[in-house]
A = this chain, B = another copy of it.
């Protein structure tokens, strides 16, 4: 079940970068949810590379197809199978570097773990392309969360050391789709673009930070001690290739604060208990406290770079140097925004179902 996630709302991912398709099974989705291929397509499109400056090598239409579980425009209660056919598949470059593991990439560990039988073409199972399947599942989770008014959004807050200015939720919603960087601070977005342009020319790559926010999350999601909201969100997010850090609320900066600074005082607003600040990122004791859930993920710079790197030839165990050809994403951060959103949605949907907030049949 290593390719499954979620206890009641369970997703099972399959497919490799150059296999016939990539797809996902969504098991446990209540019956009666109205959903169309277009609903899912819309979300998958958010993962597309931005027009213009941020190019990926592979331009596929990524057309979503529903194979099962949806009938007459509604979920049936049976597992939903969604897939995207792989079409644009030139494997020649991968044959060339098959035994030259790219530094920072899963080439080496996959080769070792699967005894060289892994489908190495395009990174195989370790390709960012797999995350398109996460977004398909997220599209269904999003619909279910809408029923209980939960809304998830994600945005780029840092690329290549350039930080976006903090913005309010409304501004984030308004701005995030306005630039291909998916950054709510237009000025920072421009700088990020320039940084990416520059690094691209140098044959190098950049990382960054994405922030995910979940609004209107009811109090009580999370099942401690092990199935905490932080724990399962983190697990879901670490499934996204290149994520190397996850923090909630004040996160790592909490380490340097005092309790009197970091504790969020309780108060009453509109007859409801809220906290004055949100250093907890909406989670106390692994359970949502009704405040926005705030998570930030660190994304390392893309490992595939044009610059020459030192590696080892797995065939003859000799040192070798490697230049990865083809056009890889210089920075995957903007494209990963939709994926972060989706994995948050999948996780929150599962917890909402565990808390009994979503019925077995949607009417």
Contacts and interface: CB of A to CB of B under 8 A. Distances in A.
Contact of A115 (B19, B284, B363): B363
Chain B CB within 10 Å — which of A5, A110, A288 has the most?
A: A110
Given A78-B124, A247-B298, A310-B267, A113 B360 contact: yes
Interface in A113-149: 113-115, 117-119, 121, 124-126, 130
A57 interface: no
A27 to B, nearest CB: 5
A180 interface: no
A228 to B, nearest CB: 5
Nearest to A243: B230
Contacts of A230: 238, 243-244
Interface in A232-258: 232, 234-239, 241, 243-258
A256 B310 CA distance: 22
A182 interface: no
Interface in A310-340: 310-312, 314, 317-319
A314 to B, nearest CB: 8
B361 A225 contact: no
Contact of A110 (B23, B108, B285, B288): B285
Given A12-B25, A241-B285, A251-B244, A19 B69 contact: yes
Interface string A340-363: 000000000000001110011111
A-side interface size class: 35 or more
Contact of A247 (B15, B250, B252): B252
Contact of A220 (B65, B79, B109, B241): B109
Contacts of A3: 25, 27, 78-79, 224-226
A305 B58 CA distance: 54
B231 A236 contact: yes
B219 A67 contact: no
A262 B103 CA distance: 9
A109 B281 CA distance: 13
A181 interface: no
Q: Which 3 A-B pairs have the closest CB atoms?
A: A106-B285, A245-B247, A205-B259
Given A19-B69, A267-B319, 9 more contacts: A20-B65, A71-B119, A77-B110, A105-B284, A224-B239, A226-B236, A231-B239, A244-B247, A257-B300
9 contacts: A1-B28, A14-B67, A19-B68, A77-B125, A78-B119, A114-B360, A231-B238, A231-B239, A252-B298
